[in-house]
Structure formats: C-alpha cells, structure tokens
Structure 1
C-alpha cells in the first residue's frame, strides 16, 4: 500500500498560486486535512469566507461528496479571477468576487470555514447562516492554557464568545504547538 500524496493536486495548484502571489499565511496541511475529513461528512452547501488563493476551498472540495457544493468569496477581484481559473474544471466549486456577505444567498450551510478574524466577530450573522447540525470551523487561533483565553495579555473575546454561545456545541482543537482552531456545531 502506498502512502497518501502530500496534498491533492487541486490543493497543490492553490498553494502554487499562494507562492506566486506572496501569501505566506495559507492554512496548514493539518487544518486542510481536517477540513477534507469534515467535508466528507457533509451534504448540501459548504462555504469558505476568506478565499485568498483558494487553499481552503481546495481542501473542502477534496473531501466533499460529489453532490455537495463549495462556495467561496474573495474581495480582491483579480485574485478571485485567478482562483476561478484553478477551479474552472471543478464542477462543485464556485468562487465569487465580492465580500463575504455575498455568500448569504447560498445559505444555509452545512459547513462554513472562516479564516477572517473580523468575520468571526459576527457570530449572530454566522449562526443564522448555518443549518441545524452545521459546523463552523474558525482558523488562526493561538493556543491558550487559561480561561478565559488570554493572548498577548488580553482576553480573546472572539474565542470566548464562540466557546460559550448556547447556539453551538464548540471545542478548541490544537493543530500544532502554536496553532489551534475552533469547531462549533449549530444546535
């Protein structure tokens, strides 16, 4: 039996675009593999807020069932066009040029990947976009051993809000010694 490829071809192509564009903050492969695994359990519409070079959407697409749809929004129209070219032959992925709110028309979501801190603060809006049982994955947290979570000497109110909101069953997951994410399932 052979070992799995380092990354799926579609992910490799988005990582190449990231390097060409000078993006150094694409999601980690560990996060991507988790997205693919979670996407495999979903039906309906999956979304990414904060497309960037499309790495998250590529991971979602690599795991999602063929009848699931992945939608993503990118604010920079030129970057959105580059990412659209990568996904041109991928039937289940749509990349829209526009801010994250342009995706509201595709709700409810069965999975939502949020990689933009300012959007994470909009928990009420995001909660309304989720179907019951839908998962929100929030990336780019720094692990904290304290409660409430403390980062750089301040309470991380975004993380605290997601972990305590009664509309969600949420957990923080350590990805590496310096990175964690949240998974919140809509009750």
Structure 2
C-alpha cells in the first residue's frame, strides 16, 4: 500500500516553495499533514491549537480538514517564517496567527481547552508539556511529531525524546499510541 496522500491542500506547493527558498527545513511532512487533516475533520466546530506554525505547511493541512465552524490558533516564535503562512492563509477567518514564544503563550492562555493540540516545536513538547496537556479537552487529541532523529537535533536530544515518550506513556489521564511512521509520531487522547 502506498501511503502518499492523494489530496494535498491547494496552498501547500506555494508554502513549500517559500520555505525551501528561505532554507526552512522543519516543515511537517505530507503523511503527518494528512493525519492532521483527518484529525481536524473528526472535530466538527473544533478548537485546534498548533504550536509551531513554521512556514505554514501543517497549518494548511489542518485548515484543509476543518469545517467552517472550527477555529485554529497557530503560534510561532519566528515572525519572519510565519509570514509565509500569513500571506498564503491569513485571509481564512478560521485561523488566528500568534507571533511569540510558545511557552509564554501556553502559560498566559486562559481560554477554553482545545479538541486538538499539535505540538510541532519545543514548547508544548519538551518544555511546558504539562501546560499543553492541560489545554486538551476531555476526549481531545494531543499529537507530536519529529520523534525520529532529525537534522539539526542538538547533541543528546535523543535522550530527551526517550524521556518525553516515557513521561507520556506513564500518564493516567491520556491513552497514547506511538506511530513508527512519517517523522515518528505520538498521539495521545485525554481520558479524563
């Protein structure tokens, strides 16, 4: 079976070209994107949080799965990189872009929980994990990627990944499944 997505979002080629031209190499791959679209589609009128907009490739996959009643908040530390997403996707009223530190945003956010949290950066994954998990609604999904070795990992980061996976597996309030697929994923569903 070929697991290459058969449908891609309309904005994806332009976002990918802009990211490549800028030397941004940390975009979500297409299989992860297809999963994001499916998870977003499973949440009609859902509240979705993306930590790490990057150039917007994950954002466009999420938007492609969302219905008209769903809302997406996408947080990115680097406003220059997020500019690509804002230019291509900013006219969509379902998305709100936030430029700033994801950890600070997580600590300061006081709104309702999210049905889907995609942590595609360090905040919400390797830092501020408890706060990100606290923002997942009961029955909601938390997804992380890039758990296989990646270009640019700092020395010793593999041990951090191992600790993160062990910590998530031990939680009583989430059911986790590791996916040895795409860039290495973990999906966790809040049970309480």
Which category describes the TM-score, using the shorter chain as reference length? 0.7 to 0.9
Report the counterpart of residue 98 of structure 1 in structure 2.
100
Contact 2:124 2:131 in 1 (8 A): no
Q: In the TM superposition, what whole-angstrom CA distance separates every residue of 1:114-154 from its partner, at most 9, and x where no partner exists?
A: 112353133311121111111000111129xxxxxxx8578
What stretches of structure 1 move > 4 A for 4+ residues in a row?
151-155
Report the counterpart of residue 167 of structure 2 in structure 1.
161
Higher strand share: 1
The alignment's TM-score, normalised by the length of structure 1, stands at 0.83
User: Is 1:37 matched up with 2:38?
Assistant: yes
RMSD between superposed Cα atoms in Å: 2.2
User: Is 1:127 matched up with 2:119?
Assistant: no
Distance in 2, Cα, partners of 1:128 & 1:29: 28
Q: Residue 82 of structure 1: CA displacement?
A: 3.3
Would you say how many aligned residue pairs link Structure 1 and Structure 2? 175
- Relative to 1, partners in 2 of residues 1:155 and 1:71: Cα closer, same or farther, differing over 3 Å? closer
Report the counterpart of residue 69 of structure 2 in structure 1.
67
The alignment's TM-score, normalised by the length of structure 2, stands at 0.81
1:110 to 105, 108, 115: 115
Unaligned runs of 5+ in 1: 144-150
Contact 1:44 1:69 in 2 (8 A): yes
